[in-house]
Copies of this chain bind each other. A is one copy, B any other.
């Protein structure tokens, strides 16, 4: 998605981006140090803090995915599913650790970064207790799918390496494929189940969007990352200071439009009405 990328304009060259190097002069390649940490991130403590905040959230979502997949594995109807689901759970830990490693590279504390989101989905989980194996699968696919989409949107505003790490983590869709295959097979010959799951999907997306809304209110750093002005490739210093660091007045409605559209796409893959 390129919704947030402003076209590069004349004001861009005066920003914190590396100056065009006359024979790699004083500023040549000053934009990144040996760890792949762009100078803009290091030089701007507020932007660094926002980056670490998003990385902490992504790591926590993987931790939550691990716990959920492990629990799913314990109640899976067949041994084969148990084996697969616990393998997915283990993969979530590998992904989480990749994100934590990036936080360390940025010089921040990984335990504090993930720990601040320890209970981020507790409310969501309490309100959306699945009552069947199918509801459980759909919750994984739809509910956490919204959270992933949100992180993907916010990742557009990160430095290149952090964005690469986040997108790689979020794109590992093996578990989604399992959910799709099983739900599709189950719903195909059961109209009652399909209707019930469509209703469940609407409930899940409503609760999930509520989580995003609360996050944007409680976490100005995340709000800044998805704010349209922040997503410009290299904003002017003055703009950046004035608008980039302050939290935007309203949670961007564009974000919710995008999340809803992705949800609709996801449900239609299952042959369910969003």
Contacts and interface: CB of A to CB of B under 8 A. Distances in A.
Interface residues of A, number: 25
A97 B87 contact: yes
Nearest to A74: B67
A111 B80 contact: yes
Contact of A67 (B70, B100, B111): B70
Interface stretch (A39-47, A88-96, A159-167, A211-219): A88-96
Contacts of A83: 63, 96, 100, 111, 114
A118 B86 CA distance: 14
Contacts of A70: 66-67, 70-71, 89
Nearest to A91: B90
A86 B94 CA distance: 10
A243 interface: no
The majority secondary structure among interface residues of chain A is helix
Interface in A176-201: none
Given A86-B63, A90-B93, A94-B90, A111 B79 contact: yes
A71 B83 CA distance: 17
A82 interface: yes
B89 A63 contact: no
A115 interface: yes
Contacts of A91: 90
A51 interface: no
A92 to B, nearest CB: 8
9 contacts: A63-B82, A66-B86, A67-B73, A67-B86, A79-B111, A79-B114, A79-B115, A89-B93, A90-B90
The 8 closest A-B pairs by CB, nearest first: A70-B70, A79-B115, A90-B90, A90-B93, A79-B111, A80-B111, A86-B93, A67-B74
